[in-house]
Amino acid sequence: MIPKIITGRGSTRRLIAYLFGEGDANEHVDPHLVASWNDFAPDPGRSPHRDPKEVQKQLYTQLDQPVAMLGRQAPKTTVWHCPVRAAPEDPILSDAQLAEIARRIVAAAGVAPAGDTEACRWVAVRHADDHIHIAATLVRQDGRRPRRDFDIRAVQREARQIEVDYGLRRLKPGDGTAAKRPTSKEHFKAKRLGQDAPSREILRRRVRRAMAAASTETEFFALLEASGVAVRPKTEPSGDVTGYSVSLPGDVNKQGEPIWYAGSTLSGDLSLPQVRKRLPTAAPEPVTVQPGNPWHQATASTERIPHHLTRSDDGVAQGQLAALGGVLDLLPVTAQVAARVELERAAVAFERDTHSRIAADHSSARVLRRSVQMIWNDAARHGDGAGLAMLIDVALTAVAYAVHWHRTRQHAQQEAAAEEALVHLQAAHVQITEPVLARFAARAPGTQIKRRYAYHLQQAVPEHAERILNDRAWDGLATVLAEAESAGHNVSTLLDQALSQRTLDDARSPARALTWRIRRLGERHAPGPQAQAANARHAAQRPTPPPPAPEARGQQR
């Protein structure tokens, strides 16, 4: 159950007219009171023999009476409005149940404590199955102001208890860092405009993608405009740009003017100062990425995220998660159409993980962000999907570690978001990796070579050898081992290097994890003559592999 507190000035007249009207999209069905401060306030929805406008006037006049009595001494903020919405899967509550929920909400907020006959006046209006609106005035009937310190937190706590008491969907407590959710009006407007999401969410996705892809501030604004977003920089008299606003074409108000959203209102980390912190040009020294395959560099950096989440301080860990969010923002544009939906859903879900009360140290993740930007800028790098499959494979482990990291810090919303992202990422992983592994398996070496590789595996990683040799990905692993060996690498040394990068204990599929590691290592320059000689000596010291037992042949596909 989601309560949302909104405060305003003046009379409750306009609010009452909206609550008992048809709604912006005719969504208000049978609006009527379910509760009030005195249990017999006039109800415009249940007065069939009277003019509804007259009853509305009577209602808002009674609500505003304590405010009117103060005259010029009335506070500036006089209207308290709190929609309370249930989840779609929740059971439909009765009017009596919603009335009790409304009383608990206003009591928790300090607007009308239980048993206080001089408290603020309020009403609860229902005009849909899933929610009510509570409208109140912020002057008590004795002329004093209500004590509603920290009413937002208090109401959220009460909502969590209401969920338990009524068997409703239990939401996660937040920390105040989540991006603002679209309102009901924004959802209805998106439906009218034929958009797949409200403008606020579309703009947030596009701004996050531009931030992840940009190397400079100029490029950030250019990428926004290239994505179909109108940009309006905020320029001071000195000429300095201190902020920006964005708008979607066709999203206009009643006057036909564009509706602008400041970056900071889309999300706290999308203000211009926060965007600048992530740009390479803001770093104290230039970001250097070694020449080579950016897919491999991005994968190697992502593979180190679990280490940072378990060994580094919280600021570095939060910076790594922010960079991982940028990776997920950009991955959909590199994937085949079939996998884009799940990748975009994973990015949207993981966005919640990228900010918390912990200040992120973005400098620790500059190499990861720069390597992904290189992939973005060079469409030819997308290739046959092997690079993407390799990166998503290690991203799965990183997101799983993010779940645990947030759980240990009691970041409930971020933990739930990471779990949701993991589900979508796993679905995308299957769509992307299966065709790549099938192509690898089609080029698998002969039986004799695979037996030799199987022996090397048993020597290098005996605790995982059986799982690897019985995994469907074994043929693909044998292929990348053969290709690496053809390029001049020593198989035994290559396996040792791959295993030294990270243990296989937490890998969902050790065979796949090794496949992507060997693929990266195998595409590096082959060792020189001296290194090859050293590798040969190292190989000579190993015992000659015995011929496999006849019964084992069926296991090594």
Residue ranges in 230-293 assigned as alpha helix (H): 263-266, 272-278
Q: Letter for the amino acid at 547?
A: P
Helix (H) or strand (E) holding 261: strand 261-262
Nearest Cα neighbor of 59 from 118, 11, 5 is 11
* pLDDT computed for residue 554 by the predictor: 33
Residue ranges in 378-509 assigned as alpha helix (H): 386-408, 412-442, 447-460, 462-469, 474-486, 491-501
Residues 6 or more apart whose CB falls under 8 angstroms from that of 36 comprise 121, 122, 123, 124
DSSP secondary structure string, 35-100?
EESSS----GGG-TTS-HHHHHHHHHHHHHHHHHHHGGGS-S--EEEEEEE--TTSPPPPHHHHHH
* pLDDT computed for residue 525 by the predictor: 61
Would the pLDDT of 21 be above 90? Answer: no
pLDDT tens digits, one per residue of 470-483? 998 999 999 999 99
Mean pLDDT of the region 246-271? 92
Residues 315 and 221 grouped into a single domain: no
Decide which of 538 and 474 is more confident. Answer: 474
pLDDT tens digits, one per residue of 477-518? 999 999 999 989 999 999 988 888 777 876 778 898 899 889
Final residue of a structural domain among 255, 278, 301: 278
Question: Quick count: other Cβ atoms within 10 Å of Cβ 406?
Answer: 23
Rounded CA separation 14/5 (Å): 17
pLDDT tens digits, one per residue of 152-195? 889 999 999 999 999 998 877 777 788 888 876 788 788 888 88
Q: What are the φ/ψ torsions at residue 156 (nearest 5 degrees)?
A: -65, -40
Q: Letter for the amino acid at 69?
A: M
Residue 435 lies in a domain: yes
Confidence of residue 112 (pLDDT cuts 50, 70, 90): very high
Confidence of residue 262 (pLDDT cuts 50, 70, 90): very high
Residues 338 and 252 grouped into a single domain: no
CATH number at residue 160: 3.30.930
DSSP secondary structure string, 185-243?
HHHHHHHHHT-SS-HHHHHHHHHHHHHHH-SSHHHHHHHHHHTT-EEEEEE-TTS-EEE
* pLDDT computed for residue 281 by the predictor: 62
Collapsing DSSP states into helix, strand and coil, what is residue 269?
helix
Rounded CA separation 365/356 (Å): 17
Residues 334 and 312 grouped into a single domain: yes
Residue 553 lies in a domain: no
Distances (CA, A) of 88 to 91, 171, 193, 421, 495: 8, 13, 23, 21, 51
Final residue of a structural domain among 278, 309, 336: 278
Exposure pattern of 260-278 as b/e (b: 16+ CB <10 Å)? bbebbbbbebbbbebbebb
Would the pLDDT of 545 be above 50? Answer: no
The length of the chain in residues reads: 557
Confidence of residue 83 (pLDDT cuts 50, 70, 90): very high
* pLDDT computed for residue 557 by the predictor: 29
* pLDDT computed for residue 108 by the predictor: 95
Residues 94 and 148 grouped into a single domain: yes
Rounded CA separation 536/1 (Å): 67
Residue 543 lies in a domain: no
Residue 554 lies in a domain: no
Label each residue of 104-172 as H, E or C. Answer: HHHHHHCCCCCCCCCCCCEEEEECCCCEEEEEEECCCCCCCCCCCCCHHHHHHHHHHHHHHHHCCCCCC
DSSP secondary structure string, 391-427?
HHHHHHHHHHHHHHHHHHTT-HHHHHHHHHHHHHHHH
Residues 381 and 406 grouped into a single domain: yes
Confidence of residue 245 (pLDDT cuts 50, 70, 90): very high
Residues 26 and 46 grouped into a single domain: yes
Confidence of residue 28 (pLDDT cuts 50, 70, 90): confident
pLDDT tens digits, one per residue of 42-69? 999 999 889 989 999 999 999 999 999 9
Nearest Cα neighbor of 523 from 289, 288, 296 is 296
* pLDDT computed for residue 540 by the predictor: 47
Beta strands in 288-343 (DSSP E): none
Arithmetic mean of pLDDT over the chain: 86
Residues 464 and 490 grouped into a single domain: yes
Rounded CA separation 262/484 (Å): 51
Cα-based angle 125, 129, 135 (whole degrees, multiple of 5): 20
List, edge to edge, every strand of the sheet that includes 230-235.
Answer: 230-235, 241-247, 261-262
Residues 219 and 162 grouped into a single domain: no
- Window from 57-66, 284-293, 425-434, 542-551 with minimum mean pLDDT: 542-551
Q: Residue 173 is encoded by which pair of tokens?
A: 């407590």
Place of tokens 């990291």: 405
Final residue of a structural domain among 278, 303, 336: 278
Q: What are the φ/ψ torsions at residue 36 (nearest 5 degrees)?
A: -155, 175
Mean pLDDT of the region 113-136? 93
- Number of independent structural domains in the chain: 4
Residues 476 and 412 grouped into a single domain: no
Decide which of 454 and 192 is more confident. Answer: 454
pLDDT tens digits, one per residue of 186-236? 887 888 888 888 999 999 999 999 999 998 999 999 999 999 999 999 999
Mean pLDDT of the region 125-140? 93
Rounded CA separation 407/525 (Å): 41
Residues 45 and 123 grouped into a single domain: yes
Residues 6 or more apart whose CB falls under 8 angstroms from that of 477 comprise 440, 453, 468, 511, 512, 514, 515, 518
Residue 547 lies in a domain: no
Would the pLDDT of 424 be above 90? Answer: yes
Collapsing DSSP states into helix, strand and coil, what is residue 511?
helix
Would the pLDDT of 361 be above 50? Answer: yes
Collapsing DSSP states into helix, strand and coil, what is residue 244?
strand
* pLDDT computed for residue 188 by the predictor: 79
Confidence of residue 548 (pLDDT cuts 50, 70, 90): very low
Confidence of residue 523 (pLDDT cuts 50, 70, 90): confident
Q: Which of 42-46, 332-336, 353-357 has the highest average model confidence (pLDDT)?
A: 42-46
Residues 246 and 347 grouped into a single domain: no
* pLDDT computed for residue 544 by the predictor: 40
Rounded CA separation 241/356 (Å): 27
Rounded CA separation 13/383 (Å): 61
Residues 188 and 158 grouped into a single domain: no
Would the pLDDT of 382 be above 70? Answer: no
Range of the domain at 473: 443-529
* pLDDT computed for residue 519 by the predictor: 87
- Note whether 481 and 453 are within 8 A (CB): yes
Residue 223 lies in a domain: yes
* pLDDT computed for residue 412 by the predictor: 87
Rounded CA separation 221/270 (Å): 13
Residue 96 lies in a domain: yes
pLDDT tens digits, one per residue of 307-322? 999 999 999 999 999 9
Residue 286 lies in a domain: no
Rounded CA separation 513/476 (Å): 11
Place of tokens 């994937």: 335
Would the pLDDT of 468 be above 80? Answer: yes
Rounded CA separation 87/85 (Å): 7
